[in-house]
Amino acid sequence: MRNFKMILQYEGTRYQGWQKQASTDNTIQGKLETLLFKMTGKKTEVQGSGRTDAGVHALGQVANFHSDTKMSPSEIMEYMNFYLPDDIAVISLMEAPERFHSRLNAKGKTYCYRVLNTAVPHIFDRRYVHMAEAELDTDRMRKAAEYLLGTHDFKAFTSNKRSKKSTVRTMEDIRIERAVSASMGMQGAEDEIRFFYSGNGFLYHMARIITGTLLEVGTHERKPEEVAEILRSGLRENAGELVPAKGLTLMEVRY
């Protein structure tokens, strides 16, 4: 049985997340497994590096599957991209060692959350950015983000209250950058703020709750020091709002 590793890009707008569900076939994993069944005639399970939520996008999602197909990696990739919908693409596909597992072998991930900090709508970015009209203080948000670096219990920054698994994670880096929104080009001001999060793993809704909390620091609703208090409390209700999924993109998975 051969093991194939693939890197995927997808726009998550119209999908119910990565994970296949009994109630709908409108998921990324579901689309991939349906196509591989069509290709091989056999039920094929696709393992992803993680479960992106409904509406979340990916530039570098990693997945793997086992198959005894005689097709070459380039033939499989060509076949998949021919039949996949236009908002899902395989950008790399290769054979991997038999024991490679996209989730269990992952060492870290980087996410980016995009915020449009203006009252002027940017039509061509609307599916990929969260719009926040109030002026945001990036220096205050960077100061607050420093409290999240390192290894902590991030229980206060997850929506999953029932899980018995460890909520300890290591946040390796947080970068907050101003940029010109892609659709505005050279004509626009630096009205987009991008939050880059790199860590060894992320809890359910973790990046989106952290972003919501930092935005409240940026609008002076909270002090930067409150982030440390939220961490210590372990209480979800002490953290900020859950910002919309559409602003979040999985950038890369590291092995």
In the chain, domain spans: 2-96, 108-254
Architecture of the domain whose range is 108-254: 2-Layer Sandwich (3.30)
CATH of segment(s) 2-96: 3.30.70.580
Q: Phi and psi of 196, rounded to 5°? A: -105, 125
Give the end-to-end CA distance of the chain in Å, rounded to a whole number: 22
Give the closest residue to 28 by CA, choosing from 9, 4, 1. Answer: 9
**Per-residue model confidence (pLDDT) at position 226:** 98
**Per-residue model confidence (pLDDT) at position 184:** 61
Amino acid making up residue 37: F
Q: Residue 182 — very low, low, confident or very high, per pLDDT cuts 50/70/90?
A: low
Q: What angle do CA 242, 140, 204 make, to 5 degrees?
A: 25
Q: Which ranges of the chain would DSSP assign to H, the alpha helix?
A: 28-40, 73-83, 138-146, 206-218, 226-233
**Rounded-to-integer distance, Cα 220 and Cα 214, Å:** 10
CA 167 remoteness from chain centre: 18
**Per-residue model confidence (pLDDT) at position 252:** 98
Q: Which of 53, 137, 153, 191 is catalytic?
A: 53
User: pLDDT at residue 45 above 70?
Assistant: yes
**Per-residue model confidence (pLDDT) at position 149:** 98
Annotation says 139 is catalytic: no
**Rounded-to-integer distance, Cα 117 and Cα 131, Å:** 6
**Rounded-to-integer distance, Cα 3 and Cα 68, Å:** 9
Q: What is the mean pLDDT of residues 201-213?
A: 98
Least confident of 136-150, 180-194, 216-230: 180-194
User: One fold for both 2-96 and 108-254?
Assistant: yes
Q: Which ranges of 61-205 would DSSP assign to H, the alpha helix?
A: 73-83, 138-146
Q: Residue 134 — very low, low, confident or very high, per pLDDT cuts 50/70/90?
A: very high
**Per-residue model confidence (pLDDT) at position 160:** 87
DSSP state of 188: S
Amino acid making up residue 211: T
User: pLDDT at residue 208 above 70?
Assistant: yes
pTM for the full predicted model: 0.94
Give the closest residue to 87 by CA, choosing from 115, 128, 50, 37. Answer: 128
Four-residue CA torsion sign, 68, 73, 79, 81? positive
